[in-house]
Chains A and B, each alone.
Chain A
């Protein structure tokens, strides 16, 4: 275990549903990340939070809405998703984003299927 947990591990939802993914880190880190992992594509960075402030949004559609209430928790709110949004969504954390070369620690991911 890396100290980063994600719930749920699996999620199936219809295109009209609203759901949320949760990530929690127990490492005392200040930065948290959402990634999308699709088959045969590199991991795509979606959002970066540093000290609870969003510092990067990689042109992600508005149907994905992140929330970081504190440095230990990160949410990804989902609404009106498309089938092509089906993927493994990974959360990661690191000490911070302002120090070079800091490693990121990943959660187990949420396997999302959009019907």
Chain B
């Protein structure tokens, strides 16, 4: 079974600085997908970034980028130029390749609560 571990329950960062959230996962699959979701206080969970395991290039979305290390099964999220609006819970999630009876189900970590301080 796949598992996702986020070892940092809480983190804080000063506005305009850079922060990295860690995520490791355990799987015997070779093809899969990884996601970071953001859940602001009392607001909807939204997709931040998505990575395909067969792509070596790290995904980037504006100030958000990942460091995907497939051999180490590590998928960290870097937030550059942190803004107050980045304050949220961040969830790392894993999805197997569809097929062989497997649906596109997400497996989530427990989350990291990020606080951006002015």
Which residues of A approach B to under 8 Å, CB–CB? 1-2, 4, 31, 40-43, 45, 48, 50, 55-56, 90, 94, 96-109
A-B CB pair tally, cutoff 8 Å: 63
Q: How far is the CA of A55 from the CA of B45 in the complex (A)?
A: 23
What is the total number of residues of chain B having a CB less than 8 Å from a CB of chain A?
26
How far apart are B116's CB and chain A's nearest CB, in angstroms?
Answer: 22
| B84 interface residue (CB < 8 Å to A) | no
Closest A residue, CB atoms, query B51: A101
B4:A42 contact, CB within 8 angstroms = yes
* Complex interface bits, B25-68 against A, C-beta within 8 A gives 1, otherwise 0: 00000010101010000011111001010000000000000000
Residues of A within 8 A of B105 (CB): 45, 48, 56, 97
Residues of B within 8 A of A97 (CB): 98, 103-105
Closest A residue, CB atoms, query B44: A108
